[in-house]
Amino acid sequence: MDNTLSTIKTILSNNQLVKGRLRLTPAKMRSLYHTQLKHNHKIQKELIREKKIFKSSLDKIKNLKSELKYCEGTLQKAFYPSTQNIALLYKNIGNNYYIKARFYWEGQQREVQVGSIPIVFDIMRKMLTHGYLQDISVPKSDKMTWEKFTRNIDLIEATKKIAALKFQEYIIRKLSVEGTNRFGKDDLGKKNKKKSIKTSWTEKYEDESKEKEKFDWYVQWRNNNLK
């Protein structure tokens, strides 16, 4: 596109040289030029607007995918517990040792206490009685060390099954309280509409540790299992 309107006369003159049939005055040509230029700017603005909408949609899709991933993970862990991705640890708390389990939920590492070796063996025997565990021999706990424990694949797998049920309780109780606090107020929806999905979920994870302290889930659960 020519960058000056002075070329209009040149355009008309050149058209005559080739025996063209342009019968427009310079004023009409200028009007035509400005009309087309305005249309060009309008398209540019529309394109910029659509690009912003497209980028916003991509961000929303990305955030929705992330949210869906966490939601599906929560459904799986809360209602269909499994022993996958569970790590067992043996920790000294006070003057006693307890088996703990770690897993990931909503992008963060969590930890629950399974119990001391005698308590874990008692749980296993109860689970055997009710048919939850099968074909496993539970040894006496008085001479059991953690080193021997970890070499027994059946004991490790059974402990992970206990841990999966502990995680299930942890998540369900957590969801129960969070659901009441987050969705029980009428004005919550209005508040969330003012925030993007990305912001709300970022705040959710940043505030999660504070909520954990507020409701004191882990401490309460641990005290119940140490009695």
pLDDT per residue over 25-66, tens digit each? 888 988 998 899 999 999 999 999 999 999 999 999 999 999
Give residue 162's pLDDT band: very low, low, confident or very high (50, 70, 90).
very high
Please list the alpha-helical segments (H only) found in the chain: 7-17, 26-79, 117-129, 146-151, 153-183, 188-193, 197-206, 208-215, 217-226
Domain coordinates in residue numbering, the chain: 7-13+24-66, 81-226
CA–CA separation, 12 and 196 (whole Å): 55
String of b and e for 112-123 (b: at least 16 CB within 10 Å)?
bbbbbbebbbeb
- The model scores a pTM over 0.75: no
CA–CA separation, 127 and 129 (whole Å): 5
Give residue 6's pLDDT band: very low, low, confident or very high (50, 70, 90).
confident
Instruction: Yes or no: say if 156 and 144 are a contact pair by the CB < 8 Å rule.
Output: no
Closest CA to 37 of 14, 12, 5: 5
For 84, the token pair is 């996958």
Question: Torsions phi, psi of 104, nearest 5?
Answer: -110, 135
- C-alpha distance from residue 194 to each of 160, 191, 208 (Å): 42, 6, 21
Over residues 163-219, the pLDDT tens digits come to 999 999 999 999 998 865 544 444 434 444 444 444 444 444 444 444 444 444 444
Q: What percent of the chain has pLDDT over 90?
A: 59
CA–CA separation, 90 and 190 (whole Å): 46
CA–CA separation, 149 and 123 (whole Å): 15
Task: Indicate the average pLDDT of the chain.
Answer: 82
Residues 6+ apart with CB under 8 A from 161: 83, 127, 132, 133
Over residues 113-131, the pLDDT tens digits come to 999 999 999 999 999 999 9
DSSP state at residue 84: T
Q: Is residue 1 scored above 60 in pLDDT?
A: no
- Map tokens 């961000």 to a residue: 59
- Work out the number of other CB atoms within 10 angstroms of the CB of residue 163: 25
State the number of CA atoms in the 13 A half-sphere of 208 facing the CB.
Answer: 15
